[in-house]
Structure 1
Amino acid sequence: MTIKNAMILAAGFGKRMRPITETIPKPLVPVLGVPMLESIIAKLRTAGIQKIVVNGFYLKEQIQNFVEAYDDPMIIFSEEYEILETGGGVTQALPLLGNDPFVVVNGDVCWLDGTDAAIKRIMNFWDPDVMDALLLVHPKSKAYGYEGAGDFFLETHQKLSRRGEAAAAPYVYAGIQILHPKLFVDAPQGSFSLNKIFDRALASNRLCGLEHDGEWFHVGTPEGLCEVEDLLQNMLPAASKFDGT
């Protein structure tokens, strides 16, 4: 099936990126001169996404102004009046996203594509017969700037299982996913994490994963941002810029 709609999660506080995020929301922090939100919008458009919903709460006027500057009726701002977290933000935006599966991207994700565009790969891999949620995951050992214990195991038939009580898991969630709106039926009201939605899919054995085959960067702190920019400058061709295309 063709996936036409997407949402970018851009409402968070970005506390670990302070003092930069005291005056600018994290999705608008530039990487090599390009705001992360701009890069993500460009990649979604390149993948064929028609409608893009962007939510905002913290310093939301800046997010709204950025979205409206596109002067594109298919790039829509979803205003939040309280912090809703990832799950609550998507739930509020469901009337804009429609009744079919949609892409969701964290507004602070930084990556380079591999053999094909990551968003296009995950869209092509989506199989509604066996999936309610499909997460892009990245090998923890190859995740630049990531120091956590990992999130998931990737099992046979591309099924995901959580790290649980294990000391570590080999894959980290890469911040790009496809979700079926039926997962949000009777979802909690107000603020909640998308982890609750992942667990719903997991309970019915319909949570799947796709390994990212490019580079993935964790941009968590000002120091981490500098490290990522140094890495990207060495990885990108001399004449290129990190513009999301």
Structure 2
Amino acid sequence: MPDQPDALMLFAAGFGTRMGALTQTRPKPMIEVAGRPLIDHALDLARAGGARRLVANVHYLADQVVAHLAGQDVAISDERDEILETGGGLRKALPLLGDGPVMTLNTDAVWSGENPVARLREAWRPDEMSALLMLVRPENARGHAGAGDFTMDETGRLTRGPGYIYTGAQMLNPAGIGSISERSFSLNILWDEVIAAGRVFGLVHDGGWCDVGRPESIPLAEAMLDE
């Protein structure tokens, strides 16, 4: 549908320190799962889900990511001089993403089942939502421990608390991002503002999801994809 937002940012700038030796010479988005770089798995989801305006931010070992994305219709938001975290990075990339709501997708997770990008686009209700977060139940999360990040009420509205894990995929109205004074900041700051206004909602992913943040998560992700 033409009124569904189609701009998406891939977060690809991080240091990947939890990967240890694997990221000494490679940025985390270039770590392979099932024979393909993590960023390619994310790009597959984005494109199949209907995202058309694609942007990736880069910082650590940026040249490798830029070279890999060359010719792929992915704009680069260059953070080589200063890493800006998720909030600052998104704000810097907004001129490349265009006006209106944007999706963001972490590049260090692998998915199976329904396409989260397509579901975010279909479920977005701009009149009542400032953010729509894709969540997974703790028992369905692989490579990730903890009781969760958000509690969801019967309407789908989110508050902070245990219950559901944030997967790294969301739809967001970035209108309030310009008023944040910090140059480098987490999107958690913006979330807290719109949570207080009752405008953050969740969608639950019932398929597979694996957080590929550590070396031991790579075989977990590959086993999930083989199922």
TM-score range, shorter chain: over 0.9
Deviations 1:151-175 (A, max 9, x none): 0111121100101xxxxx1200010
Question: How big is the alpha-carbon RMSD for the aligned residues of Structure 1 and Structure 2?
Answer: 1.2
Aligned to 1:241: none
1:75 aligns with 2:35: no
1:132 positional shift: 0.5
Aligned to 2:16: 14
- Spell out structure 1 runs of 4+ moving beyond 3 A: none
- 3-state SS in 2 of match to 1:83: coil
- 3-state SS in 2 of match to 1:150: coil
Instruction: Count residues in correspondence.
Output: 224
Q: Equivalent of 1:45, from 34, 44, 47? A: 47
Structure 2 residues not aligned, in runs of 5+: none
Deviations 1:134-167 (A, max 9, x none): 100000121112112310111121100101xxxx
One-letter amino acid of the counterpart of residue 84, structure 2: L
Instruction: Say whether the 8 Å CA contact 2:9–2:56 is kept in structure 1.
Output: yes
Aligned to 2:109: 109
TM-score (norm 1): 0.88
Aligned to 1:191: 184
1:39 positional shift: 1.3
1:220 positional shift: 2.0
One-letter amino acid of the counterpart of residue 138, structure 1: V
1:139 aligns with 2:132: no
- 3-state SS in 2 of match to 1:27: helix
Instruction: Say whether the 8 Å CA contact 1:141–1:170 is kept in structure 2.
Output: no
Aligned to 1:230: 223
Aligned partners of 1:187 and 1:95: how far apart in 2?
17
Aligned partners of 2:149 and 2:211: how far apart in 1?
14
Aligned to 1:203: 196
One-letter amino acid of the counterpart of residue 92, structure 1: K
Instruction: Say whether the 8 Å CA contact 1:151–1:170 is kept in structure 2.
Output: yes
TM-score (norm 2): 0.94
Deviations 1:217-237 (A, max 9, x none): 12121122123223433x0xx
Structure 1 residues not aligned, in runs of 5+: 164-168, 236-245
Aligned partners of 1:43 and 1:230: how far apart in 2?
18
Aligned to 1:55: 57
